[in-house]
Amino acid sequence: MGLTVAEAKKRIDDIMARYQAVSTGSTRGLTLSLSPGKLYEAWVLSTILERLRTDEGYDVVLIGSDKVRLRSSGGPVDRSFAHFELRRGGVALLEVWTDIEFLSFSHQQRGARMPPQRGDRHELDIVILPAGTAAGYPPHDVIKMAVECKNTAFEKHMARAALGVRRELSLLRPSQQTAFSTWPRSVVPAEPASVFSVYSTDGTVTEYDQAGQIFGVDFIHEPM
């Protein structure tokens, strides 16, 4: 049985407040007035941050705000928006952002001409980048983890779209080492070696996972 909206928000708030307290010294509750899709994005974000903390040993710190504000639409890396740093020994190694558009592999192949056309940018719901990534649209080859979130019935066209995004992130290659030791995965059959995960509230998503594994796409059922 799924959680109510209020229960889901409380679970997200409880997790996010831990990182807020580290960042600002405040334990004030976070405000999450979100659409169902954005609420699920926040749910998956909190799940990923917890796994990176417990499985990978990162200290997670909210940067740039005392609240988690998810963007309403995709755009470039903009440091006026809140994001999370993943630290070890007090040193920021990675950053977690929401609703970022990246510059595609095909854009690079055409000489990375600027400004990019609409077809050269693709939005990701959650993205992990190296710490200190410059403002603007990050190129495909700096992305360490890319995430799509689907709080809806999962349909075949969504799987096809995910495979298209994978092609714009990397090429199919024998196993390559990722930026992670154990979670979400240590190797992928892709170069550059970005992790790409598709989360959905619909259990049907797992029916695409075996096919996705060939290209390094994880189709994950994450109920809320």
pLDDT for the residue 198: 98
pLDDT for the residue 27: 46
Contact at 8 Å (CB) between 147 and 126?
yes
pLDDT higher than threshold 80 for residue 52: yes
pLDDT in tens, 82-127: 899 999 999 999 999 999 999 999 999 999 988 999 999 999 999 9
Q: In what order do the strands lie in the sheet with 59-63?
A: 59-63, 83-88, 91-103, 121-130, 145-150, 195-200, 217-221
Q: The whole model's pTM is what? A: 0.92
Domain boundary assignment for the chain = 5-221
Residue with tokens 């558009």: 101
Lowest mean pLDDT among 38-47, 56-65, 66-75, 213-222: 66-75
Residue 208 and residue 190: Cα distance in Å, rounded? 18
Please report, rounded to a whole number, the percentage of residues in the chain having pLDDT higher than 70: 91
Residue 112 backbone zone (phi > 0: left; psi -120 to 50: alpha; other: beta):
left
Residue 84 and residue 82: Cα distance in Å, rounded? 7
- What is the overall mean pLDDT for the chain? 91
pLDDT higher than threshold 60 for residue 16: yes
Contact at 8 Å (CB) between 63 and 85?
yes
More confident residue, 65 or 202: 202
Reported as half-sphere exposure (CB side, CA atoms, 13 A), residue 212 has a value of: 24
pLDDT in tens, 128-143: 999 999 999 999 999 9
pLDDT higher than threshold 70 for residue 42: yes
DSSP calls for the chain: -PPPHHHHHHHHHHHHHHHHHHHHS--PPPP----HHHHHHHHHHHHHHHHHHHTT--EEEEES-SS----SS-B-B-TTS-EEEEEETTEEEEEEEEEEEEE-HHHHHTT--SSPPGGGEEEEEEEEEETTPPSB--BGGG-SEEEEEE-S---HHHHHHHHHHHHHH-EEEEEEE-S-SSSS-SEEEEES--EEEEEESSGGGGGGHHHHHHHTEEEEE---
pLDDT higher than threshold 60 for residue 152: yes
Please report, rounded to a whole number, the percentage of residues in the chain having pLDDT higher than 90: 73
